[in-house]
Amino acid sequence: MKSWQVSRHGEPEDVLELAEVPRPVPGPGQLLVRVLGAAANFPDVLLCRGTYQVRPPLPFCPGVELCGEVTETGPDVTGFTPGGRVIGGAELPAGAFAEYALMDAARALPAPENLDDAEAAPFHITYQTGWFGLHRRANLAAGETLLVHAAAGGVGSGAIQLGKAAGARVIGVVGGPRKAALARQLGADLVVDRYEEDFVPVVKEATGGRGADVVYDPVGGEAFQKSTKCIAFEGRILVVGFASGVIPSAALNHALVKNYSIVGLHWGLYERLDPAAVRACHAELTKLVAAGLIRPLITERLSLADVPDGLRRLAAGTTVGRLVFQP
């Protein structure tokens, strides 16, 4: 089968090589799936660079999230029949940027019927992260103001839709007019182009000086620092990621004086420590899809050959909406 292999670390476009490799064999607890759609995620870039929290042994195939058709089950796996459509994470080194991938049967979830293969591929990490962040960690309430950074990006786009579904007013921060248009299309009530204006005064003005109740921050660096200037009394800043490459330091005296919380979010840990909560979240998310309240916005349906260029553009911050590779 065809598979993108990383044999040395570096930028995706430099180190990814398309190779012909044997189809992986599902071990105990695993599923072999035919990849129907593989989503592009920032961690795929970090995996290529060797800077992700997980460093699979070389060579490996990246691609952390997919929609696949079950073709074979491991020796002790029950509850899955060949032909079923599932979503979830891939078991590296047999990642999703290939014709076939391995999945952990305990973590694979049924693909929502209302989503096609490309839409189902990025329906896992983004929406689970958004749901756990906004509801379980930040207790977002209807009527509150939610500020979302990188709002046209992977996790940001899901946070806009989930914020609206929860009855919040959503302000999105994006880089450039194409992303601003997409954030509006996703449902943001107010959009700030960070190249054109500073979001701090915009948030203050939009909230009558109060500030945002919840900030969803996958960017870090300056986005975090400036968020502390427009966070509301008893507000919650969700630390989701550091796409800017800068891990900021927090001034705890400032958090004390203004009565706000800095809330960490590592969704992957829920998969390990509270898998029942992940399944319950999936059931909620599936209902929200059926109700027409959330739906991944796929801007580029690409082929397997497009993986290096797609990841290069994702790393450069120039992609808009979700990219899905379909072998």
Ligand X SMILES: NC(=O)c1ccc[n+]([C@@H]2O[C@H](COP(=O)([O-])OP(=O)(O)OC[C@H]3O[C@@H](n4cnc5c(N)ncnc54)[C@H](OP(=O)(O)O)[C@@H]3O)[C@@H](O)[C@H]2O)c1
Question: What does the binding site for ligand X look like in residue numbers (CB under 6 A)?
Answer: 41-43, 125, 129, 150, 152-156, 174-175, 179, 194, 218-219, 240-244, 265-268, 317
Backbone φ, ψ for residue 159 (5° rounding):
-65, -35
What angle is formed at CA 323 by the lines to CA 36 and CA 15, rounded to 5 degrees?
Answer: 90
What is the nearest approach in angstroms of ligand X to the Cβ of residue 129?
A: 4
Distance CA 276, CA 104 (A): 15
Please name the helix (run of DSSP H) or strand (run of DSSP E) that holds residue 101, with its range, or none. Answer: strand 100-104
Nearer to ligand X, 110 or 221 (CB): 221
Structure tokens at 244: 């800017």
In the complex, what is the shortest distance from the CB of residue 35 to ligand X, in angstroms, rounded to a whole number? 19
Helix (H, G, I), strand (E, B) or coil at 46: helix
Closest CB to ligand X among 24 and 220? 220
93 upstream amide cis, omega within 30 of 0: yes
> Considering beta carbons, is residue 70 or 215 the nearer one to ligand X?
215
Task: Provide the angle, in degrees to the nearest 10, between the axes of the packed helices 177-186 and 154-165.
Answer: 30
Q: Which residues contact 253 (CB under 8 A, 6 or more apart)?
A: none
Nearer Cβ to ligand X, position 70 or 188?
188
Task: Decide whether 24 or 89 has the Cβ nearer to ligand X.
Answer: 89
- Alpha carbon distance 197, 191 (integer Å): 10
Cα separation, 113 vs 324, whole angstroms = 18
Residue with Cβ nearer ligand X (37 or 241): 241
Nearest of 167, 170, 190 to residue 180 by alpha carbon: 190
Report the residue number, 71 or 261, with the smaller CB distance to ligand X. 261
CB of 85 to ligand X, least distance (A): 23
Amino acid type, 324? V
Task: Choose between 100 and 325: whose C-beta lies nearer to ligand X.
Answer: 325
CB of 122 vs ligand X, minimal distance in Å:
9
Residue 80 contacts by C-beta under 8 Å, 6 or more apart in sequence? Answer: 31, 70, 73, 86, 105, 108
Closest distance between ligand X and the C-beta of residue 298, in Å? 13
* In the complex, residue closest to ligand X by CB: 153
| Secondary structure (DSSP) of 128-176 | HHHHIIIIIIT---TT-EEEETTTTSHHHHHHHHHHHHTT-EEEEEESS
